[in-house]
Amino acid sequence: MLCAMQCLSQKYSIEYFSSIVGACQPIEGDSCRAIVQDIIDSVKDNSNELLYPEVLISAGVAYYDNGDFEKAEQLLFEAKSTSELFGANLLIADANRLLGIIARDKGDFEQSLSHYLTAAKIWEESGDKSKLAEVYLGISSVFFDTDRLAKSQYYDKLVAGIAEDLDDDNLRLKAISNKALNSMMVGIYYYQENIQDSLKEEQTIDTLNYYFRKSEVEYYAGLDLAKKTGSREVELSLMNNLVALTMNMEKNQKALKLAKDSEILAGDLGVVDLIIQSKVNITSAYRKLGELEMAAKYGEESLALARQHGLERKEFLANRTLYDLYKSMGNYSKANGILEQMREYDQKVGDIERNKDIAELEVKYQNAKKEEKILFQKNNILELAAENVRIEKQREYILGGSAGLLLLGFFGFQFIRIKKDRNDKMAFAEALIFTQEEERKRIGRDLHDGIGQSLLLLKKQVMTTNETTEANRKLITETLEEVRAISRDLHPFQLKQFGLKAAIIDMLSKVEKSSGIFISKELADTDGRLSEKSEIHVFRSVQEALNNVVKHSQATAVKVVCEIDEREILITVKDNGKGFDNKVKNSPAKNLGLRTMSERIASIGGKINISSAPSKGTTIEMHVPIS
């Protein structure tokens, strides 16, 4: 067999051998692998020295398409080193670009950028703007994935300029795809950074909506161009990203339809990572619509497919979606298991030092450009020898497939970007509340054990010796009772002694007596279902809700209901008061009481829903997971 191949290698070109490699797709089983290896061996000593690295690159692309990144890397590194021996710079650049794609898919962004920049330098010197645009797209994706949007946009603009120079619709399509995604992310990041400033809330939301509408227009323009050029892989990637945008705009039914359309197209194309992406999008859309069982079905399918094909980034994406889903379903054991897997991946790709290395590499590259005075002149484009049609098709296939990975900027890397800030804020809020509670305990003990005991002793002495008036005895008794009341309010000792239900009943009784508001109650027995920490937070939140009713609502009646199922405790406080407008309802930061309740319940893994309207009263629902 090898002898026959060696004879053929003297006669046929790279196109012939690439077609044989392509016919072996997928490269599974010993026979297919043996044929590909025989092809590689047969051209090793060919009189055409460049045929060997060209075949290695072709085989590397085939293995990459088959999901065997390790074998693909091995072949491409060999192609690179062989090309360096013969000074074949264009092949060196080609191998580096493909190695950059693989490194990026593996999450090794520093190595990916190093490969891309090597390829960019060669293609700048050769004047091949088309190939240069391809590598600029790769560099843009690395900066996007490492959350450096300004750098990503810089390289996207370079691609757009080259597209106009070459009048290339395919490059225009790739540039507008990236532009649409960047517009969406700029809006999201602006919102995250400014929403806590209540004075800028309206401006922040307006800015977010502006970028969302801008992104939507750009995505639909991209879809039209994709259909015009017949770029179905890019069309699919745009549809997937448009699903994310549409869900952000709360158009959930429209998002579900887009996601199902993209699943059909992905199945027709057979692009595994985009099939996974479509299933993840369907999962998110169903969750937004409240159809949780359907969401779980598609989420598990996406995770299984990612694991089957060893796609770590897609596995992370599927896990991220399932984590949110299982939390909303109250399945905390599954959610916590998924969280551990996400943390492992996050540590791998979120290394700050890696971003520093990336920055240093890019600076070195820019300096080299200045020193060598590389010019971008249209008339400097060199005519290259006819390239292998099969390789070109495979490379376009890779670019089309990898474009879908950009959606991680929203679903995956958005999580990486905001997770630390969110966790820091949650930890701060919880620590603040805990400190307040401990201080309440201390003051309560001091009042009860110090002043209270002293007054009690004084009362007994006075009563024994009869050396005081009846008025003074009454004053001492009232003072003692006041101290006891302050002590009880600062820290509800009855909570620990008698349980949450009894403590709430006692609180309701006091509020009803002091305020004159009629209070009805339906309280299930919560004893033993919550931790001590959770009970304190629930008690204080109900207390705060009632305080708000008394101080602000002008209500005449309140109903407090506590219900229990196997996953959570639901406590509802509903009044018939004057209510408040949507601006206040949607801005808990403007109401310290509402914000404190939200932080308390969130710190124990729960959530609060507040509904109100002028003259229609207020309803507060506290969903607390059973712990």
CATH code (residue 249): 1.25.40.10
Residue 106 lies in a domain: no
Q: Which DSSP helix (H) or strand (E) runs through 623?
A: strand 618-625
User: Are residue 503 and residue 627 in the same domain, yes or no?
Assistant: yes
Q: Which pair of tokens denotes residue 86?
A: 């013969």
Same domain for 439 and 510, yes or no, is no
User: Looking at the domain assignment, is residue 119 inside a domain?
Assistant: no
Q: Tell me, what's the pLDDT at 442?
A: 57
Q: Is residue 331 part of a domain?
A: yes
Do 503 and 530 lie in a common domain? yes
Is residue 288 situated within a structural domain? yes
Do residues 286 and 303 share a domain?
Answer: yes
Q: Are residues 477 and 510 in the same domain?
A: no
Among the listed residues 437, 413, 399, the one whose alpha carbon sits nearest the alpha carbon of residue 533 = 437
Read off the pTM.
0.47
Enumerate the β-bridge partners of residue 564.
569
In a domain, 261, yes or no: yes
Q: Checking DSSP bridges between strand 568-575 and strand 518-523, what pairing results, if any?
A: unpaired
138 falls within a domain: no
Q: Do the Cβ atoms of 215 and 183 come closer than 8 Å?
A: yes
Same domain, 479 and 521: no
Q: Give the number of other Cβ atoms within 10 Å of residue 196's Cβ.
A: 11
Q: Which residues of the chain have pLDDT under 50?
A: 1-12, 350-354, 356-357, 368-425, 428, 431, 586-590
Count of domains forming the chain: 3
Alpha-carbon distances, residue 422 vs 328, 409, 419, 426 (angstroms): 18, 17, 5, 6
Tokens standing for residue 67? 């999901």
Same domain (yes/no): 307, 236: yes
pLDDT of res. 4: 40
Whether 487 and 508 map to the same domain: the answer is no
Same domain, 521 and 464: no
Q: What is the pLDDT of residue 614?
A: 83
Buried b (16+ CB within 10 A) or exposed e, 284-304: bbbbbeeebebbbebbebbbe
Asked if the structure places residue 182 within a domain, the reply is no
Confidence at residue 352, expressed as pLDDT on a 0 to 100 scale: 42
Domain boundary residue, one of 491, 508, 533: 491
Whether 249 and 341 share a structural domain: yes
Of 298, 326, 350, the domain-final residue: 350
With respect to residue 77, please indicate whether it lies within any of the assigned structural domains.
no
Rounded to the nearest 10°, the torsion over CA 399, 403, 408, 413 is 70
What is the reported pLDDT for 446?
57
Domain of residue 475 covers 432-491
Token pair of 317, please? 């994406």
The CATH code of the domain that includes 545 is 3.30.565.10
| The last residue of a domain, from among 350, 374, 392 | 350
Residue type, 488: R
Same domain, 563 and 594: yes
- The answer to whether the CB of 278 falls within 8 A of the CB of 297 is no
Structure tokens at 318: 């599927």
The DSSP code for 379 is G
Cα dist. 68→83, 106, 495 in Å? 23, 12, 60
Q: Do 334 and 247 have their domain in common?
A: yes
308/376 Cα distance (integer angstroms): 44
